């Protein structure tokens, strides 16, 4: 468990490449209370058609965010970092293949997304990238990468309830496929199969194991 290393990790410079308040709270749940926030400017617009599945797409986007933050630090700061934590969550819905949804841009877009999920099972994939500085690679960093996938079932949702839901902008803004499992949409969800925190936006079990691997196996992180 990462718990035995938390005190030492809190003395390191840990960067969270996200402005998500949910991710900030989730890393605190495993005791990482001193993480800095550096928001990525990476455009989340990779060509989805080139990826085998939504999980691989989410990892590639998370890595793009991490690289962007790495470059910002390299360009503007002399202070070294110890680890950058980057995550990206997407929703994948079977649709004659798999259609990947990210964040809604408008209330109409949010309503369309919720309508698509109504009465169906979908997947939430959260790609996680841990990035560590390295003098032995051309890029200047090494990474531990992977993703978690959780299946979520939605009840049938009436048009009236969809309208009521999207009227609450905090329920869907900034969230993959216009919902957060911990918020108003929780009333739509009768079951999930997999990791709850993956649906919230940060697979904290994978994060914990990745940090332990970086310390004990890969030796990317010296405490």
DSSP track, 189-202: -SEEES-HHHHHT-
Is 88 an annotated catalytic residue? yes
DSSP at 209:
H
How many Å apart are CA 172 and CA 32, to the nearest integer?
27
> Choosing from 88, 95, 135, 183, which is the catalytic residue?
88
Q: Are 95 and 126 in contact (CB under 8 A)?
A: no
Q: What share of the chain is helix, strand, coil (3-state, %, to 5)?
A: 40, 25, 35
SS3 79: coil
Q: Which two tokens stand for residue 59?
A: 């990892």
Owner of token pair 């919902």: 179
Q: Supply φ then ψ for residue 128, to 5 degrees.
A: -125, 130
Helices (H), the chain: 6-9, 21-29, 54-76, 107-117, 159-166, 169-172, 196-200, 204-216
How many Å apart are CA 192 and CA 181, to the nearest integer?
10
How many Å apart are CA 165 and CA 184, to the nearest integer?
8
- Residues designated as active site: 88
């Amino acid at each position: 468990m990462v718990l035995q290393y938390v005190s030492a990790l809190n003395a390191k410079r840990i960067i969270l490449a996200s402005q998500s308040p949910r991710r900030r709270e989730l890393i605190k749940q495993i005791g990482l209370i001193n993480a800095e926030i550096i928001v990525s400017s990476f455009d989340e617009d990779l060509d989805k058609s080139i990826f085998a599945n939504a999980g691989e797409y989410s990892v590639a986007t998370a890595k793009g965010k991490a690289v962007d933050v790495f470059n910002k630090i390299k360009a503007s700061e002399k202070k070294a970092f110890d680890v950058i934590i980057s995550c990206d969550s997407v929703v994948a819905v079977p649709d004659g293949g798999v259609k990947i949804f990210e964040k809604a841009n408008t209330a109409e877009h949010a309503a369309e997304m919720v309508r698509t999920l109504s009465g169906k099972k979908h997947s939430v994939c959260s790609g996680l990238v841990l990035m560590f500085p390295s003098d032995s690679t051309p890029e200047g960093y090494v990474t531990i990468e992977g993703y978690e996938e959780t299946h979520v079932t939605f009840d049938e949702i009436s048009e009236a309830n969809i309208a009521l839901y999207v009227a609450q902008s905090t329920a869907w803004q900034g969230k993959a496929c216009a919902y957060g499992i911990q918020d108003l949409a929780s009333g739509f969800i009768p079951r999930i199969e997999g990791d709850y925190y993956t649906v919230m936006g940060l697979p904290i079990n994978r994060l914990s194991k990745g940090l332990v691997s970086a310390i004990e196996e890969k030796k990317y992180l010296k405490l």
